[in-house]
Structure 1
Amino acid sequence: MTSQGDDYQTSLLSGVEDSSGDDTDEPRQSGLGLGLLVLRLGLGVIMGAHGLQHLFGAFGGPGVGGFAHVLEMFGYHKQTTLLSWITGVTEVAGGALVLVGLFTPLAAAGLLGVAANVVYAKFHGGFFVGDGKGFEFELLLGLVALALVFTGAGRISLERNTPWRKRPLPLGLVSLLLAAAASVVVIVLTR
């Protein structure tokens, strides 16, 4: 005979750990896991490569000094070198974590914050504008990051047995708030 407290505790923990592997939802969920992997790979590689451009000048990028100058052209006038470092590190670290599927809601929130600032900086230039002045590409990256904030990494990831993979909404909401706060702080302090 179990007490009411034991039943309550058991119900709180049910579903947090994976079962022996024969989930009844597996056939239905296998496409979801693969789809999330594709989104993670795309976002992680693209944002990580941008970060390597911004930090080290890889792939023909500007490096920290050149990126600071680019930020000035987009209306950031204070602490542009520091902002270059923060942006590059966020892109590389966030891209790597999203790529392997570890701390995905937080990593995706960092990438969302970067994308949101780029959209804000390019917004006056229009949606579709040649020479990289439009913001449609960064908006798409931000939307992919936003989706991963709320979905998490999926089954094909390093965070397979974490509580936030089973219930991603609470950490997703916290991560979204952190991304929004960081974006506002960057805009207020550097523009």
Structure 2
Amino acid sequence: MKSGIPAVTPWFVSVFRAVIGFLLLCHGTSTLFAWPVAPWNGAATPFTEWPGGWAGSIELVAGVLLILGLFTRSAAFVASGTLAVAYFWKHQPDGALPIGNEGESAVLFCWALLALVFLGPGRVALDRLIGRSAPEREPSPRITESVS
């Protein structure tokens, strides 16, 4: 089991990236278009409204880019920063801990997106297809020293 994990990791990162991208896209469309569900205020937020419309626009664009695996690290970095700002600006003033200030989703998104900055797009991504991302290296075999 342990030896199979490195082999599937790049594939798992692709799935992880696409899921995070899809959830981020849904968050953006909910904010901007009140679809698939209306946001907390029950209405769509115009693109030009600060800060909600800007955040929703970033979530929408970054979500699409992450689903496609295009400009993955840049999109994840910008979106991670957006979610960090959202947490500290909107949620943190209501309490010190995310569980008490309803900021869990902002924190989870922020850290998941930051992880994608370091993990990259994974095996299945447009970044890899157009050569923007280095291919995953195969795990090198361990050299063990024999004891005589």
TM-score, normalised to structure 2, is 0.73
Q: Equivalent residue for 2:29?
A: 52
Structure number with higher helix proportion: 1
Provide runs of 4+ in structure 1 moved above 6 Å. Answer: none
Match among 14, 20, 35 for residue 43 of structure 1:
20
1:111 aligned onto 2:79: yes
- Judge conservation of contact 1:98–1:108 (CA < 8 Å) in 2: yes
For residues 134-173 of structure 1, the aligned pairs below 5 Å read 134-161=102-129, 164-166=132-134
Q: Tell me how far apart the structure 2 counterparts of residues 60 and 42 of structure 1 sit (CA, whole Å).
A: 18
- For each residue in 1:48-83, what CA deviation from the matched residue of structure 2 results, as whole angstroms up to 9, or x when unmatched? 001001111112323115xx9xxxxxxxxxxx8143
Q: Which amino acid aligns with 2:31?
A: H
Match among 42, 45, 48 for residue 64 of structure 1:
45
Q: Tell me how far apart the structure 2 counterparts of residues 91 and 114 of structure 1 sit (CA, whole Å).
A: 8
- Judge conservation of contact 2:18–2:69 (CA < 8 Å) in 1: no
For residues 8-87 of structure 1, the aligned pairs below 5 Å read 29-61=6-38, 62-64=43-45, 81-87=49-55
Q: Tell me how far apart the structure 1 counterparts of residues 18 and 54 of structure 2 sit (CA, whole Å).
A: 22
Identical counterparts, % of pairs: 26
Q: Tell me how far apart the structure 2 counterparts of residues 88 and 114 of structure 1 sit (CA, whole Å).
A: 10
TM-score, normalised to structure 1, is 0.58
Return the index of the structure with the highest Cα Rg. Answer: 1
Q: Which runs of 5+ in 1 are unaligned?
A: 1-26, 69-79, 168-191
Q: Which amino acid aligns with 2:73?
A: P
